[in-house]
Amino acid sequence: MRIDPKYFNTFLLIVAVVAASLIAYFIVSNRVAEKSDFKQRMFAQDSLQTTWWNNVQSGDSVKVADYEGTYIVLDLWSNWSDASLRSHTELAKIKSQYPDEVQVLAAAVGLQKKEVEQYIQEHEFPFHFVAGSRQFSEFNMPGLPVQFVYDRQLDLRHVFLGYSDDSQYDSLRVLIRNGNR
């Protein structure tokens, strides 16, 4: 089969568009599957609650299990992620609404201690700031921000990957309201 030279460029363009579409489709499909697999893995074997996290401000180590009896949000974030800042703003609202019922462990990923301290001073979020780079890599997390929501008995209830909008945390609010009855 021979292609007439005057149609060759059009043919190449069509092939390129089809190839680019297929590549984009498989990348998106793979990313969705990766996130789904990650969530399933975290729910099946949640060892994050017993993992030690180094407190950035005090140098002490804490773990999610230290806050049993409250709702805990373990939030992995970085200062280059606008979604992390938007997520922190919403989590701060929830924390101020339920100050005794909610604890937030904000685990910084890929940041130096000085950068985290600057972020803390700049934003004054009422969180426990811990280092999270090692755990981010160890648990092969698929992106930032990532939030793990634990109930009062330390059962993992939700895993949020990324941040879409404020309604993402409606399930956390419902969990707190239903648990406080």
- Look at residues 57, 33, 71 and name the one whose alpha carbon lies nearest to residue 108: 57
Task: Look at residue 36 in the predicted model and tell me its pLDDT.
Answer: 82
Predicted confidence (pLDDT) at residue 43 exceeds the cutoff of 90 = no
State what percent of residues in the chain have pLDDT above 70.
Answer: 97
Stated as kind and residue range, the H or E segment containing 32 is helix 5-44
- Coil, strand or helix: which one is 119? helix
Q: How far is CA 135 from the centre of its chain?
A: 12
- Coil, strand or helix: which one is 81? coil
Task: Look at residue 135 in the predicted model and tell me its pLDDT.
Answer: 94
CA distance 56 to 2: 67
Mean pLDDT to the nearest integer, 102-129: 96
- Look at residues 51, 50, 56, 53 and name the one whose alpha carbon lies nearest to residue 111: 56
Contact present, 49 and 154 (Cβ < 8 Å): yes
Task: Look at residue 180 in the predicted model and tell me its pLDDT.
Answer: 55
Predicted confidence (pLDDT) at residue 92 exceeds the cutoff of 90 = yes
Round the CA-based radius of gyration of the chain to a whole number and report it: 21
State what percent of residues in the chain have pLDDT above 90.
Answer: 56
82 or 181: which leads in pLDDT: 82
Task: Look at residue 48 in the predicted model and tell me its pLDDT.
Answer: 84
Contact present, 116 and 55 (Cβ < 8 Å): no
| pLDDT grade for 69, boundaries at 50, 70 and 90 | very high
Comparing 13-22, 37-46, 53-62, 80-89, which segment has the lowest mean pLDDT?
A: 37-46
CA distance 95 to 132: 21
Predicted confidence (pLDDT) at residue 181 exceeds the cutoff of 60 = no
Mean pLDDT to the nearest integer, 117-139: 95
